[in-house]
Protein backbone atom coordinates (compact mmCIF):
# COMPACT_ATOMS: atom_id res chain seq x y z
CA UNK A 1 0.00 0.00 0.00
CA UNK A 2 1.43 3.39 -1.04
CA UNK A 3 2.12 6.15 1.36
CA UNK A 4 -0.43 8.89 1.95
CA UNK A 5 -0.07 11.86 -0.36
CA UNK A 6 -2.02 14.93 -1.41
CA UNK A 7 -3.27 15.19 -4.95
CA UNK A 8 -2.12 18.05 -7.14
CA UNK A 9 -5.04 17.89 -9.57
CA UNK A 10 -8.48 19.45 -9.22
CA UNK A 11 -11.39 17.06 -9.42
CA UNK A 12 -13.69 19.61 -11.11
CA UNK A 13 -11.48 22.24 -12.76
CA UNK A 14 -14.43 23.87 -14.55
CA UNK A 15 -16.14 24.52 -11.22
CA UNK A 16 -12.96 26.08 -9.85
CA UNK A 17 -12.72 28.31 -12.91
CA UNK A 18 -16.35 29.31 -12.44
CA UNK A 19 -15.65 30.31 -8.83
CA UNK A 20 -12.69 32.39 -9.97
CA UNK A 21 -14.82 34.21 -12.51
CA UNK A 22 -17.63 34.72 -9.98
CA UNK A 23 -15.25 36.09 -7.37
CA UNK A 24 -14.00 39.00 -9.47
CA UNK A 25 -17.15 41.21 -9.66
CA UNK A 26 -17.90 40.79 -5.95
CA UNK A 27 -14.31 41.63 -5.04
CA UNK A 28 -14.56 44.85 -7.04
CA UNK A 29 -17.99 45.65 -5.54
CA UNK A 30 -16.73 45.05 -2.00
CA UNK A 31 -13.69 47.27 -2.56
CA UNK A 32 -15.89 50.01 -4.01
CA UNK A 33 -18.56 49.98 -1.30
CA UNK A 34 -16.18 50.00 1.65
CA UNK A 35 -13.95 52.50 -0.13
CA UNK A 36 -16.95 54.86 -0.25
CA UNK A 37 -17.84 54.18 3.37
CA UNK A 38 -14.29 54.85 4.65
CA UNK A 39 -13.40 56.60 6.78
CA UNK A 40 -16.76 57.86 8.09
CA UNK A 41 -19.14 58.65 5.29
CA UNK A 42 -22.34 57.44 6.94
CA UNK A 43 -21.34 55.31 9.94
CA UNK A 44 -22.00 57.96 12.61
CA UNK A 45 -25.14 59.14 10.76
CA UNK A 46 -26.70 55.66 10.85
CA UNK A 47 -25.71 55.34 14.50
CA UNK A 48 -27.43 58.60 15.35
CA UNK A 49 -30.61 57.71 13.39
CA UNK A 50 -30.80 54.34 15.13
CA UNK A 51 -30.37 56.05 18.54
CA UNK A 52 -33.21 58.45 17.77
CA UNK A 53 -35.47 55.57 16.79
CA UNK A 54 -34.39 53.57 19.86
CA UNK A 55 -32.78 50.75 17.99
CA UNK A 56 -29.32 51.20 19.53
CA UNK A 57 -27.32 53.49 21.81
CA UNK A 58 -27.18 57.25 21.29
CA UNK A 59 -23.79 58.64 20.15
CA UNK A 60 -24.47 61.81 22.16
CA UNK A 61 -24.48 59.81 25.40
CA UNK A 62 -21.12 58.29 24.53
CA UNK A 63 -19.70 61.76 23.88
CA UNK A 64 -21.24 63.08 27.10
CA UNK A 65 -19.71 60.23 29.11
CA UNK A 66 -16.29 60.85 27.57
CA UNK A 67 -16.61 64.58 28.37
CA UNK A 68 -17.31 63.77 32.02
CA UNK A 69 -14.47 61.22 32.22
CA UNK A 70 -16.89 58.32 32.47
CA UNK A 71 -16.02 54.94 31.02
CA UNK A 72 -18.23 54.24 27.98
CA UNK A 73 -16.60 52.64 24.98
CA UNK A 74 -17.80 53.07 21.42
CA UNK A 75 -19.53 49.91 20.17
CA UNK A 76 -17.34 48.05 17.68
CA UNK A 77 -20.11 48.07 15.08
CA UNK A 78 -20.04 51.90 15.07
CA UNK A 79 -16.29 52.31 15.40
CA UNK A 80 -13.81 53.19 12.65
CA UNK A 81 -12.61 49.58 12.73
CA UNK A 82 -15.79 48.55 10.94
CA UNK A 83 -15.12 50.52 7.75
CA UNK A 84 -11.31 50.53 7.76
CA UNK A 85 -10.98 46.81 8.42
CA UNK A 86 -13.33 45.86 5.59
CA UNK A 87 -11.60 48.23 3.19
CA UNK A 88 -8.21 46.64 3.99
CA UNK A 89 -9.67 43.18 3.56
CA UNK A 90 -11.01 44.19 0.16
CA UNK A 91 -7.56 45.34 -0.95
CA UNK A 92 -5.99 42.09 0.25
CA UNK A 93 -8.63 40.02 -1.54
CA UNK A 94 -8.06 41.87 -4.80
CA UNK A 95 -4.30 41.28 -4.57
CA UNK A 96 -4.66 37.57 -3.90
CA UNK A 97 -7.29 37.25 -6.61
CA UNK A 98 -4.79 38.48 -9.20
CA UNK A 99 -2.23 36.03 -7.80
CA UNK A 100 -4.70 33.14 -7.92
CA UNK A 101 -5.81 33.83 -11.45
CA UNK A 102 -2.21 34.10 -12.65
CA UNK A 103 -1.32 30.78 -11.02
CA UNK A 104 -4.39 29.21 -12.58
CA UNK A 105 -3.36 30.35 -16.06
CA UNK A 106 0.11 28.93 -15.44
CA UNK A 107 -1.41 25.60 -14.28
CA UNK A 108 0.37 25.77 -10.91
CA UNK A 109 -2.59 26.70 -8.70
CA UNK A 110 -2.49 23.44 -6.75
CA UNK A 111 -5.15 22.50 -4.17
CA UNK A 112 -2.66 22.69 -1.32
CA UNK A 113 -1.99 26.36 -2.14
CA UNK A 114 -5.70 26.99 -2.37
CA UNK A 115 -6.20 25.41 1.05
CA UNK A 116 -3.70 27.69 2.79
CA UNK A 117 -4.92 30.79 0.98
CA UNK A 118 -8.67 30.34 1.36
CA UNK A 119 -8.49 29.36 5.01
CA UNK A 120 -6.89 32.73 5.69
CA UNK A 121 -9.31 34.68 3.50
CA UNK A 122 -12.34 32.92 4.92
CA UNK A 123 -11.12 33.74 8.45
CA UNK A 124 -10.76 37.42 7.48
CA UNK A 125 -14.31 37.57 6.13
CA UNK A 126 -15.70 35.73 9.13
CA UNK A 127 -14.14 38.40 11.35
CA UNK A 128 -15.58 41.07 9.04
CA UNK A 129 -19.10 39.70 9.43
CA UNK A 130 -18.67 39.59 13.19
CA UNK A 131 -17.62 43.26 13.25
CA UNK A 132 -20.56 44.28 11.06
CA UNK A 133 -23.06 42.44 13.26
CA UNK A 134 -21.46 43.09 16.65
CA UNK A 135 -23.91 43.90 19.51
CA UNK A 136 -24.42 47.38 20.92
CA UNK A 137 -24.94 47.17 24.68
CA UNK A 138 -23.18 50.27 26.02
CA UNK A 139 -26.50 51.99 26.75
CA UNK A 140 -28.52 50.03 29.32
CA UNK A 141 -31.74 51.67 28.14
CA UNK A 142 -31.26 50.85 24.47
CA UNK A 143 -29.39 47.61 24.03
CA UNK A 144 -29.11 45.78 20.75
CA UNK A 145 -27.69 42.28 21.02
CA UNK A 146 -28.01 41.49 17.32
CA UNK A 147 -27.15 43.06 13.99
CA UNK A 148 -27.63 46.81 13.54
CA UNK A 149 -30.94 48.18 12.40
CA UNK A 150 -29.91 48.91 8.76
CA UNK A 151 -29.39 45.15 8.28
CA UNK A 152 -32.39 43.74 10.14
CA UNK A 153 -34.93 46.40 9.11
CA UNK A 154 -36.02 47.93 5.84
CA UNK A 155 -34.47 51.20 4.77
CA UNK A 156 -37.91 52.55 3.88
CA UNK A 157 -38.57 53.43 7.54
CA UNK A 158 -36.33 56.46 7.06
CA UNK A 159 -37.92 59.49 5.41
CA UNK A 160 -34.71 61.25 4.44
CA UNK A 161 -33.58 60.11 0.98
CA UNK A 162 -29.89 60.68 1.75
CA UNK A 163 -30.03 58.59 4.90
CA UNK A 164 -32.05 55.99 3.03
CA UNK A 165 -29.28 55.80 0.42
CA UNK A 166 -26.71 55.38 3.20
CA UNK A 167 -28.79 52.56 4.62
CA UNK A 168 -28.95 50.80 1.26
CA UNK A 169 -25.18 51.13 0.78
CA UNK A 170 -24.47 49.66 4.19
CA UNK A 171 -26.93 46.83 3.54
CA UNK A 172 -25.30 46.13 0.15
CA UNK A 173 -21.84 46.06 1.69
CA UNK A 174 -22.99 43.50 4.23
CA UNK A 175 -24.58 41.36 1.49
CA UNK A 176 -21.37 41.43 -0.57
CA UNK A 177 -19.40 40.38 2.51
CA UNK A 178 -21.68 37.38 2.98
CA UNK A 179 -21.28 36.38 -0.68
CA UNK A 180 -17.49 36.67 -0.43
CA UNK A 181 -17.46 34.39 2.59
CA UNK A 182 -19.64 31.88 0.75
CA UNK A 183 -17.29 31.90 -2.25
CA UNK A 184 -14.27 31.20 -0.06
CA UNK A 185 -16.10 28.44 1.77
CA UNK A 186 -16.95 26.87 -1.60
CA UNK A 187 -13.26 27.10 -2.51
CA UNK A 188 -12.38 25.31 0.71
CA UNK A 189 -14.87 22.52 0.04
CA UNK A 190 -13.52 22.00 -3.48
CA UNK A 191 -9.96 22.13 -2.21
CA UNK A 192 -10.43 19.54 0.52
CA UNK A 193 -12.28 17.24 -1.88
CA UNK A 194 -9.55 17.60 -4.52
CA UNK A 195 -6.76 16.92 -2.01
CA UNK A 196 -8.09 13.42 -1.47
CA UNK A 197 -6.47 11.39 -4.29
CA UNK A 198 -8.55 9.24 -6.60
CA UNK A 199 -7.85 5.58 -7.34
CA UNK A 200 -6.26 6.49 -10.65
CA UNK A 201 -3.95 8.99 -8.95
CA UNK A 202 -3.00 6.40 -6.32
CA UNK A 203 -2.14 3.80 -8.98
CA UNK A 204 -0.10 6.33 -10.94
CA UNK A 205 1.86 7.34 -7.86
CA UNK A 206 2.54 3.74 -6.85
CA UNK A 207 3.89 3.03 -10.33
CA UNK A 208 6.14 6.06 -10.13
CA UNK A 209 7.44 5.04 -6.70
CA UNK A 210 8.16 1.51 -7.96
CA UNK A 211 10.13 2.88 -10.91
CA UNK A 212 12.20 5.13 -8.66
CA UNK A 213 12.86 2.26 -6.27
CA UNK A 214 14.04 -0.02 -9.10
CA UNK A 215 16.30 2.71 -10.43
CA UNK A 216 17.74 3.29 -6.99
CA UNK A 217 18.43 -0.43 -6.49
CA UNK A 218 20.10 -0.62 -9.89
CA UNK A 219 22.34 2.27 -9.02
CA UNK A 220 23.16 0.82 -5.60
CA UNK A 221 24.10 -2.56 -7.11
CA UNK A 222 27.14 -1.13 -8.88
CA UNK A 223 30.27 -1.84 -6.75
CA UNK A 224 32.25 0.69 -8.75
CA UNK A 225 29.99 3.54 -7.60
CA UNK A 226 29.95 2.31 -4.00
CA UNK A 227 33.74 2.39 -3.73
CA UNK A 228 33.96 6.03 -4.81
CA UNK A 229 33.31 9.01 -2.63
CA UNK A 230 30.95 11.80 -3.61
CA UNK A 231 33.81 13.95 -4.83
CA UNK A 232 35.28 11.07 -6.86
CA UNK A 233 31.90 10.35 -8.42
CA UNK A 234 31.55 14.00 -9.41
CA UNK A 235 35.03 13.93 -10.95
CA UNK A 236 34.21 10.69 -12.74
CA UNK A 237 31.03 12.12 -14.22
CA UNK A 238 32.92 15.20 -15.38
CA UNK A 239 35.50 13.02 -17.10
CA UNK A 240 32.80 10.98 -18.81
CA UNK A 241 31.27 14.14 -20.22
CA UNK A 242 34.55 14.93 -21.96
CA UNK A 243 34.44 11.65 -23.94
CA UNK A 244 33.04 11.73 -27.51
CA UNK A 245 29.42 10.74 -27.84
CA UNK A 246 30.06 8.47 -30.88
CA UNK A 247 32.91 5.93 -30.52
CA UNK A 248 35.72 6.31 -33.05
CA UNK A 249 34.78 9.80 -34.28
CA UNK A 250 37.10 11.86 -32.13
CA UNK A 251 40.29 10.14 -33.36
CA UNK A 252 41.25 8.68 -36.70
CA UNK A 253 42.61 5.41 -35.31
CA UNK A 254 41.86 2.16 -37.02
CA UNK A 255 42.05 0.18 -33.83
CA UNK A 256 39.15 -2.19 -33.17
CA UNK A 257 38.32 -0.52 -29.89
CA UNK A 258 37.97 2.82 -31.65
CA UNK A 259 35.32 1.57 -34.07
CA UNK A 260 33.27 -0.90 -32.06
CA UNK A 261 30.30 0.60 -30.19
CA UNK A 262 31.01 1.03 -26.50
CA UNK A 263 29.50 2.93 -23.60
CA UNK A 264 31.47 5.73 -21.91
CA UNK A 265 31.98 3.48 -18.89
CA UNK A 266 33.44 0.71 -21.09
CA UNK A 267 35.75 3.25 -22.69
CA UNK A 268 36.85 4.44 -19.24
CA UNK A 269 37.52 0.86 -18.09
CA UNK A 270 39.62 0.18 -21.19
CA UNK A 271 41.71 3.24 -20.55
CA UNK A 272 42.20 2.40 -16.89
CA UNK A 273 43.16 -1.21 -17.68
CA UNK A 274 45.68 -0.25 -20.36
CA UNK A 275 43.65 -1.40 -23.33
CA UNK A 276 45.38 0.99 -25.72
CA UNK A 277 48.89 -0.10 -24.74
CA UNK A 278 48.02 -3.78 -25.21
CA UNK A 279 46.69 -3.12 -28.68
CA UNK A 280 49.67 -1.14 -29.84
CA UNK A 281 52.07 -3.70 -28.30
CA UNK A 282 50.60 -6.41 -30.54
CA UNK A 283 51.02 -4.41 -33.75
CA UNK A 284 54.26 -4.90 -35.82
CA UNK A 285 56.64 -2.01 -35.59
CA UNK A 286 57.20 -0.37 -38.94
CA UNK A 287 59.94 2.18 -39.55
CA UNK A 288 58.82 5.68 -39.77
CA UNK A 289 59.18 7.02 -43.27
CA UNK A 290 60.47 10.54 -43.59
CA UNK A 291 57.96 12.95 -44.88
CA UNK A 292 58.44 13.83 -48.53
CA UNK A 293 57.60 17.21 -49.73
CA UNK A 294 56.60 17.90 -53.30
CA UNK A 295 58.12 20.82 -55.12
CA UNK A 296 57.19 21.62 -58.72
CA UNK A 297 60.06 21.44 -61.28
CA UNK A 298 61.63 24.74 -62.12
CA UNK A 299 61.78 25.47 -65.85
CA UNK A 300 64.37 27.92 -67.25
CA UNK A 301 64.12 29.32 -70.75
CA UNK A 302 67.33 29.52 -72.89
CA UNK A 303 67.13 30.70 -76.51
CA UNK A 304 68.47 28.24 -79.17
CA UNK A 305 72.05 28.86 -80.30
CA UNK A 306 72.56 29.12 -84.09
CA UNK A 307 75.95 28.27 -85.62
CA UNK A 308 76.97 29.43 -89.08
CA UNK A 309 78.59 26.91 -91.33
CA UNK A 310 80.03 28.43 -94.57
CA UNK A 311 79.62 26.48 -97.80
CA UNK A 312 82.55 24.46 -99.09
CA UNK A 313 85.07 26.44 -101.10
CA UNK A 314 85.26 25.87 -104.85
CA UNK A 315 88.13 27.04 -107.05
CA UNK A 316 87.59 29.50 -109.94
CA UNK A 317 83.97 30.31 -108.87
CA UNK A 318 82.90 33.88 -109.10
CA UNK A 319 79.86 35.18 -107.23
CA UNK A 320 78.16 38.34 -108.27
CA UNK A 321 78.81 41.02 -105.72
CA UNK A 322 80.99 38.82 -103.57
CA UNK A 323 84.77 38.87 -103.81
CA UNK A 324 86.31 35.52 -104.43
CA UNK A 325 88.04 33.96 -101.59
CA UNK A 326 91.65 32.91 -102.00
CA UNK A 327 95.16 33.80 -101.26
CA UNK A 328 95.87 35.06 -104.80
CA UNK A 329 93.00 37.60 -104.77
CA UNK A 330 93.22 39.94 -101.84
CA UNK A 331 91.76 43.12 -103.33
CA UNK A 332 88.14 43.98 -103.79
CA UNK A 333 87.39 46.88 -106.15
CA UNK A 334 84.03 48.71 -106.28
CA UNK A 335 83.64 51.48 -108.79
CA UNK A 336 80.16 52.56 -107.74
CA UNK A 337 78.38 51.12 -110.75
CA UNK A 338 76.11 48.19 -110.14
CA UNK A 339 77.45 45.33 -108.28
CA UNK A 340 81.05 45.15 -107.31
CA UNK A 341 83.47 43.04 -109.37
CA UNK A 342 86.60 41.37 -108.35
CA UNK A 343 89.81 42.54 -109.86
Q: Is 109 a domain residue?
A: yes
pLDDT for residue 23: 95
For 72-109, the pLDDT digits (tens) are 788 899 999 999 999 999 999 999 999 999 999 999 99
Q: Are residues 126 and 206 in the same domain?
A: no
Residue 333: which H helix or E strand, with range? strand 332-333
Q: Is 110 a domain residue?
A: yes
Q: Is 334 a domain residue?
A: no
Please state the pTM of the whole predicted model. 0.60
Range of the domain at 134: 13-197
What residues contact residue 116 under an 8 Å CB cut-off, 6+ apart?
none
What residues contact residue 77 under an 8 Å CB cut-off, 6+ apart?
131, 132, 133, 134, 135, 136, 148
Q: Is 278 a domain residue?
A: no
Q: Is 256 a domain residue?
A: no
Q: Are residues 90 and 237 in the same domain?
A: no
Q: Is 299 a domain residue?
A: no
Q: Are residues 170 and 41 in the same domain?
A: yes
β-strand partners of 332: 342
Task: Taking the CA atoms of 71, 76, 82 and 85 in sequence, report the sign of the dihedral they define.
Answer: positive
Domain total in the chain? 2
Q: Are residues 69 and 98 in the same domain?
A: yes
pLDDT for residue 94: 95
Q: Is 155 a domain residue?
A: yes
Q: Are residues 120 and 210 in the same domain?
A: no
For 271-302, the pLDDT digits (tens) are 665 555 555 555 555 555 555 555 555 665 56
pLDDT for residue 284: 57
Instruction: Give, for all 343 residues of the chain, the pLDDT tens digit.
Output: 446 678 888 989 999 999 999 999 999 999 999 999 988 999 999 999 998 898 988 888 877 776 777 777 888 999 999 999 999 999 999 999 999 999 999 999 999 999 999 999 999 999 999 999 999 888 888 888 889 999 999 999 998 999 999 999 999 999 999 999 999 999 999 999 999 887 787 788 778 777 777 777 766 655 555 566 777 777 777 777 776 665 555 454 555 554 555 555 566 656 665 555 555 555 555 555 555 555 555 665 566 666 655 665 555 544 444 444 544 444 444 455 555 444 4
Q: Is 121 a domain residue?
A: yes
Q: Are residues 236 and 156 in the same domain?
A: no
pLDDT for residue 240: 76
DSSP assignment string, 198-263? PHHHHHHHHHHHHHHHHHHHHHHT-HHHHHS-HHHHHHHHHHHHTS-SSTTSSS----HHHHS---
In 10 A of CB 257, how many CB atoms? 17
pLDDT for residue 281: 56
Residue 322: which H helix or E strand, with range? none
Amino acid sequence: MGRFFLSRQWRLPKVVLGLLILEFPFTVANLTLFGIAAPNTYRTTLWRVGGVMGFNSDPNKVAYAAYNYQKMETPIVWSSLNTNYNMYVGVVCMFFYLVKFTLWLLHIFYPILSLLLHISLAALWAASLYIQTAPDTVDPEHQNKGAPWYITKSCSIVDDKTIRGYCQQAKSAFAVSVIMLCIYVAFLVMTIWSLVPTEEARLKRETKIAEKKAEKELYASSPYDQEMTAEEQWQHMWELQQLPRTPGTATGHTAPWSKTPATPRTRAFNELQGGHQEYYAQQPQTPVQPQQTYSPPQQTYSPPQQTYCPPPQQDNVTYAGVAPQGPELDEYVYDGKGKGTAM
